[in-house]
Structure 1
């Protein structure tokens, strides 16, 4: 099992990792709308927060060697 971690997404806020790869499958607990550069939720709309959370997931996917496709 490979532990996935990147500084380009918020750090895990508990006793878990940003993600794992096992048997060619990526597993993640999810992401929050925190901008990792500022360590804060900057967006004040659900759309903005969803966009940031998706960017964070994309960075974790990239660190796992994959992407949304």
Structure 2
């Protein structure tokens, strides 16, 4: 039988981003990567940043940044994101806001329209990033 190596797995939590609204972690660091759960436009106090996709996308990216920094990483180390949109008509607006967070070369990305997001959010963004070494 082949021996399987174990990788350290650590839950990441910060008060600089909203608490999880279900049974999941804000992020998990495993090996040399951190996997950040989808972030919506919720402020750290749990209130929506605004009703528009601009405010929500900007806040979602602020949340990603705060969680990544807590994990010992940064937006510069993001290798893959997934953007979930409640309405694909918001794609260009979210793209413009997203581009400001990744000016030095954006990560790989998927963007999809979904039927509905938690709390009726307009956008949710999840990320995978390398940890600082």
Give the TM-score taking structure 2 as reference length: 0.49
Report SS of the residue matched to 2:29: strand
SS in 2 for 1:39: coil
2:97 equivalent to 1:58:
no
Matched pairs, number? 68
SS of match in other structure, 2:39: coil
Greater gyration radius: 2
Please list every run of 5 or more consecutive structure 2 residues that lacks an aligned counterpart in the other structure.
1-8, 77-133
RMSD: 1.0
Unaligned stretches of 5+ residues in structure 1: none
| Equivalent of 1:29 in 31, 37, 44 | 37
Match of 2:82 in 1: none
CA apart distance, 1:42: 2.9
Report which of the two has the higher share of strand. Answer: 2
**Deviation (angstroms), 1:29:** 1.8
| Aligned counterparts of 2:11 and 2:37: Cα–Cα separation in 1 | 12
User: Which secondary structure state, in structure 2, belongs to the residue aligned with residue 30 of structure 1?
Assistant: strand
**Structure 1 residue runs of 4+, over 6 Å off?**
none
Q: What residue in structure 2 maps to residue 48 of structure 1?
A: 55
For residues 49 and 18 of structure 2, the distance between their equivalents in structure 1, rounded to whole angstroms, comes to 13
Q: Distance in 1 between matches of 2:21 and 2:51?
A: 21
